[in-house]
Amino acid sequence: MKISRRRFIVSTALVGGGVLIGYAATRPSRHRRANTELAQNGERYVTSFIKINPDNRVTIYVPHSEMGQGVHTSLSMMAADELDANWELVDIEQAPAIDLFANGDLVKGFAKEFGVPSFLEGLIGAAAFKVAEVMNLQITGGSSSVRYTGDVAMRTAGAAAREMLIACAAARWGVSATECTTALSHVQHNASGRSIAYGELAADAALLEPPEAPVLKTPDQWQIMGKAISRNDIPAKVDGTAPYGIDAHSEDMLYAAIQFAPVFGTKLVSVDGSAALARRGVKRVIELEDAVAVVADNYWRAKEALKLVNAVFETSEFDNVSSVDIFAGFDRSLAASAGDTDKEQGDAESAMATAADVIEGNYRVPFLAHAAMEPMNCTVHIQNGKADLWTSTQDALGIKGRVASIAGLPETAVNFHHSYLGGGFGRRLPFNWNVIDHATLIAMEFDVPVKTVLSREDDMQQDYYRPAVSSNFKAAFDGAGNVLAWHNRFTGPIQVPGASHIPYAIENQSIHVVDGPTHVPIAAWRSVDHSQQTFFTESFIDEIAHRAGKNPYQLRMELLQDHPRHRKVLEVAAAAAGYGNDLPEGRALGIAVQESFGSIVAEVAEVSLDANNRAVVHKVTCAIDCGRAINPDTVESQVESGIIFGLTAALYGEISIEKGRVAQNNFPDYEMVRMATSPEIEVHIVESGEALGGLGEPATPPIAAAVTNALYILTGQRVRELPIRKHDFARANSLAKV
């Protein structure tokens, strides 16, 4: 499908015969609807996303959730720059959760890059949605906001608005539009020295049809994009006024605490809530299909009373399943079947059969929880056939539809109240709806607002997890140590196609995926499949380098002749990290590189062992090619964030299953990197000028392998199973001290 910058409805064929219907930012009908739905007091909407006020202030509506990635600011910068707005006069607002602001350009971008993403395919089958409503999403995910919504919708909207303002000024002055220029929210006619504020033109501009194909600026013309601009959401986040979903509050609010069926997929059998009901402030004990809830006038009271509820849940075939069984099942699946082809190139099997040498490496990683700092929560107030809804979500429109369908209300009767998200990382995407569903069902029993909040323990035990994966590798070498074949069998499902593919020029490659079903619910987790696959592939390529007797950096460079962008970030990161130079005693550098979500990231980790033989990561040096940096300071903070998120997983992260349920309870047994364990991070942005890449996720994948590759150099031990804390490096440390 051709992606056009012109304004019109776009459609994308879906796997399975469906259709996605989307829109470019300036579709005329939407333009008119914006005027009738949102314009008040003489304000005029020039396009769907941009409002120009008579006082010359510009409001930019951002149709994405702000969860710390700085997207409200970055997207506004893109629109404002194309508009030639005065940044001092720009206000940024979260677009309301109405379909006018559905961010279909994101879906288009996904469709172009990956085909239809799996989490959207599911929507076609979801009872709550009709095919035509698939575009009725307001998703923030896939590191996509800036590179799709921003680069397509926001820039085009800004450029279209600018051209319309010029047309109005030219008509008013009786001059040609080509004689007019724009700067700082004014149209100027340099020949006559006239200048007029956008605000004075807004009323006229609103009557124009938007241009078919507005001309976007070239990077050398950027005034706002490319500059480190302070984020607009930060002041409210330092004085305590920033609202999160969990902060919804009213005098008459009630609070719900929930106890879930501990084994996934099982149901509630019986409840004795009498002791709970006798407690102060307790209003109701509510039985749900797979949970029981206590509703009280204070969350602590609800939680304390819940401890007194005697709930019996049904037994299930999964009651005795453990992580050991799950991985044993993966091993059986991998042994029993070649699975489905993910990639075949050349003839890896033959190369393996005739090779001078073959090495093997069997890897695995556990389930992981998202553990966003804001525990999952949802507040619903249903009264007189209407609902008010407060929740931190990566998909406001989808959540609105979900609550409407459960409450039996039309979607238009649900009023969604936007807030900041206390972390998302994939947990707050569509389908991860357990808390939303429960909160709605509970609130239907009352006519006051009810806030349902998960305890940290339940947030950890009732998540939708990063899948556990086992991945087995073989590599074949000729007599001279050259690698001939790459052979990989891993357990699925595949959530992001291509994550297991390698950029390296190895002639024969055979990559297959084998079914690895479990009873544990899974979902996207920051960087999705890349988080597991990059640990596997960037570790095994390191194994290949060591077997070939080559420096791991050098081998990568040799095998990346056709990937100059990969080579460049490797070069920059290695040089900045002092790769190849002498290091302090007992330290080693590990390196890894991965392309994901349109960005290419190389990371070098400097690692040692402490007196207790625990891995210590001193410094991570990173180079990222994200095409261009729209807001370089945000790029840096997202890279820092992605590295620390991935490092937490690499060092400590494990959700294990015991007796069918999650064994971990809270942060002490699902530990996080904290100040004392957080490395120094140095970020180098490589501006290749290629298409914009994502930022929220691409820094997460390489870090695990960068650290374990350093540990191999340091200790001679190859870490093939995460987390790192489970490995005993005692022997190596005593050797290192000698």
Partner 1 sequence: MASFKVNGVERTLDVEPEMPLLWALRDELGLTGTKFGCGIASCGACTVHVNGMAVRSCVTPVSTVEGQEITTIEGLAMVAAGANPSAPALTAVQQAWIDHQVPQCGYCQAGMIMAVSALLASNPNPSAADVDSSITNVCRCGSYPRVRKAIRSLTA
Q: Which residues bind partner 1 (CB under 8 A)?
A: 67-70, 230-231, 233-244, 246-247, 249, 253, 255, 280, 297-301, 371-375, 420-425, 453, 455-456, 633, 637, 640-645, 666-668, 672-676, 678, 680-681
How many C-alpha atoms does 556 have within 13 Å on its Cβ side?
27
Structure tokens at 42: 């003489």
C-alpha to C-alpha distance for 672 and 565, rounded to whole angstroms: 32
Collapsing DSSP to helix, strand or coil, 267 comes out as coil
- Smallest gap from Cβ 634 to partner 1, in A, equals 8
Residue length of the chain: 738
- Smallest gap from Cβ 703 to partner 1, in A, equals 11
- Smallest gap from Cβ 584 to partner 1, in A, equals 17
Q: Please count the helices (runs of H) and the strands (runs of E) in the chain.
A: 20, 29
Q: Kindly tell me which of 322 and 678 has the beta carbon lying closer to partner 1.
A: 678
Q: Kindly tell me which of 130 and 280 has the beta carbon lying closer to partner 1.
A: 280
- Smallest gap from Cβ 57 to partner 1, in A, equals 22
Q: Kindly tell me which of 168 and 643 has the beta carbon lying closer to partner 1.
A: 643
- Smallest gap from Cβ 621 to partner 1, in A, equals 13
Distance of CA 669 to the CA centre of its chain: 24
Q: Kindly tell me which of 334 and 376 has the beta carbon lying closer to partner 1.
A: 376
- Smallest gap from Cβ 461 to partner 1, in A, equals 14
> Which element (helix H / strand E) includes 344?
strand 340-345
CA 650-653-655 angle, 5° bins? 145
Q: Kindly tell me which of 424 and 693 has the beta carbon lying closer to partner 1.
A: 424
In the chain, what are the helix, strand and coil shares in percent, each to the nearest 5? 35, 25, 40
- Smallest gap from Cβ 71 to partner 1, in A, equals 11
Q: CA 524 → CA 117, 119, 496, 663, distances in Å?
A: 11, 9, 9, 21
- Smallest gap from Cβ 340 to partner 1, in A, equals 35
Among candidate residues 373, 372, 380, 392, the one with its CA nearest the CA of residue 255 = 380
Residue 60 · residue 90 · CB < 8 Å:
yes
Q: Kindly tell me which of 217 and 227 has the beta carbon lying closer to partner 1.
A: 227
Q: Kindly tell me which of 459 and 721 has the beta carbon lying closer to partner 1.
A: 459
Burial 327-343 (b: 16+ CB within 10 A, else e): bebbbebbeeeebeebb
C-alpha to C-alpha distance for 132 and 102, rounded to whole angstroms: 13
Distance of CA 675 to the CA centre of its chain: 24
Q: Kindly tell me which of 51 and 466 has the beta carbon lying closer to partner 1.
A: 466
DSSP string for residues in 123-188: HHH-TT--GGGTT---B--TT-IIIIIIIIIIHHHHHHHHHHHHHHHHHHHTS-GGGEEEETTEEE
- Smallest gap from Cβ 237 to partner 1, in A, equals 3
- CA 272, 278, 280, 283: dihedral to nearest 10 degrees? 60
Q: Kindly tell me which of 231 and 512 has the beta carbon lying closer to partner 1.
A: 231
Among candidate residues 177, 228, 240, 225, the one with its CA nearest the CA of residue 205 = 177
- Smallest gap from Cβ 260 to partner 1, in A, equals 16
Residue 564 · residue 572 · CB < 8 Å:
no
- Smallest gap from Cβ 667 to partner 1, in A, equals 4
Residue 224 · residue 80 · CB < 8 Å:
yes
Q: Kindly tell me which of 44 and 370 has the beta carbon lying closer to partner 1.
A: 370
Burial of residue 551 (CB within 10 Å: 0-12, 13-18, 19+) is middle
Q: Kindly tell me which of 74 and 185 has the beta carbon lying closer to partner 1.
A: 74
Q: Kindly tell me which of 343 and 417 has the beta carbon lying closer to partner 1.
A: 417
Beta partners for residue 145, in sequence order: none
Among candidate residues 401, 323, 396, 332, the one with its CA nearest the CA of residue 365 = 323
- Smallest gap from Cβ 175 to partner 1, in A, equals 43
Q: Kindly tell me which of 8 and 667 has the beta carbon lying closer to partner 1.
A: 667
Residue 354 · residue 300 · CB < 8 Å:
no
- Smallest gap from Cβ 669 to partner 1, in A, equals 10
C-alpha to C-alpha distance for 350 and 628, rounded to whole angstroms: 43
C-alpha to C-alpha distance for 436 and 443, rounded to whole angstroms: 10
C-alpha to C-alpha distance for 539 and 362, rounded to whole angstroms: 11
Collapsing DSSP to helix, strand or coil, 568 comes out as helix
- Smallest gap from Cβ 138 to partner 1, in A, equals 18
Q: Kindly tell me which of 13 and 373 has the beta carbon lying closer to partner 1.
A: 373
How many C-alpha atoms does 588 have within 13 Å on its Cβ side?
21
Collapsing DSSP to helix, strand or coil, 717 comes out as coil
